[in-house]
Amino acid sequence: MNMSFFNFRFSSRSRTKKGELAAPPTTSLASFFSRTPLASPRPVSPTASSSKLLYLTPPFVGTSLVKGNFTPIVALPRFVDLDEWLASNIFDFFFYLNTFYGSLSDFCQPQTCPVLSADAGIEYHWVDSQKKSHRIPASQHIDLIMTFLEQTIYNESIFPTKDGNLKLQYHIYVNLGVPFPPDFKSVIQNMARQIFRVYAHLFHSHYHTILHLRSEGHFHSQFAHFTAFVRNFQLLGQKDLTPLAELIAEMESQGLY
């Protein structure tokens, strides 16, 4: 097991301002997304704008920034610990989404989005630490989700980054690091569920704005990468994926998984 992969990413992260993370030093899609400027806004026809499932209609349903199959990208590499891989990827997906949502947050207001809604008539309520459910505006809900994700990632007892025990393997000492908690996969599943809900809301309520910003290619590719990951490691169930099940099926038929 090689700890350097994960530690490299986490030791180099830094804050830029409240609620944002500096771009990880990687040539992954994260850095590509953050470097690619958004094109000038374009108009979207009134007919298209009134369609609820605009993202399922051509040509948008087939749009993509990255062509090809995401399954090999998300597969566990040889000699990499599973928990390390899950942690590293969920960090990237949080970063992608937090950055992308930053370009849309001005359009997600309590007046326009009184609740975190999604397709299939679904609305999500925030459940607090006392297990009490709250119907709150989407912007507030997403802020709580991003804060939860960030605080979880920065929690050393859940996402350890420190050096740990040394183990002799093949005549060299390998740093095994501090172990992840036993329930780590369930933590990752919960984080993936929260990330998915933000995607579901953006497709449902803000797709027109995404089109106006000409960023649908970025968005579809981000989502295809994320869903390839959750499918590969069975992090979410069919019930979780319901609001975007049609889009996921479309992406599968396009050979993205």
* CA distances from residue 220 to 30, 66, 71, 150 in whole angstroms, order as listed: 14, 9, 15, 23
Beta bridge partners, 126, equal 134
Cβ closest to Zn ion, residue 9 vs residue 204: 204
Closest approach, Cβ 126 to Zn ion, in A, equals 14
Closest approach, Cβ 233 to Zn ion, in A, equals 28
- Rounded CA-CA distance 89/19 in Å is 19
Q: Which stretch binds Zn ion (CB under 5 A): 119-127, 131-139, 179-187, 207-215?
A: 131-139
Closest approach, Cβ 141 to Zn ion, in A, equals 9
Here the tokens at position 226 are 């994320």
Applying CB under 5 A, does 187 fall inside the site for Zn ion? no
* Residue selected from 64, 89, 194, 205 as contacting Zn ion according to rule CB under 5 A: 205
Closest approach, Cβ 108 to Zn ion, in A, equals 3
Closest approach, Cβ 105 to Zn ion, in A, equals 9
Query: Segment 93-112, which members bind Zn ion (CB under 5 A)?
Result: 108
Closest approach, Cβ 208 to Zn ion, in A, equals 11
Phi/psi at 27 (5° precision): -95, 20
β-strands 116-118, 122-124 pairing: antiparallel
Applying CB under 5 A, does 146 fall inside the site for Zn ion? no
Burial 23-52 (b: 16+ CB within 10 A, else e): bbeeebbbeebeeeeeeeeeebeeeeeeee
Q: Which stretch binds Zn ion (CB under 5 A): 42-50, 69-77, 158-166, 200-208?
A: 200-208
Q: Which stretch binds Zn ion (CB under 5 A): 19-27, 81-89, 133-141, 168-176?
A: 133-141
- Rounded CA-CA distance 19/28 in Å is 22
Closest approach, Cβ 144 to Zn ion, in A, equals 14
Q: Any residues with CB less than 8 A from the CB of 223 and at least 6 apart, and which?
A: 199, 203, 244, 247, 251
Applying CB under 5 A, does 113 fall inside the site for Zn ion? yes
Q: Any residues with CB less than 8 A from the CB of 164 and at least 6 apart, and which?
A: 175, 176, 177, 178, 179
Beta bridge partners, 174, equal 167
Cβ closest to Zn ion, residue 113 vs residue 187: 113
* Residue selected from 138, 146, 192, 228 as contacting Zn ion according to rule CB under 5 A: 138
Number of residues that bind Zn ion (CB under 5 A): 4
Binding site for Zn ion (CB under 5 A): 108, 113, 138, 205
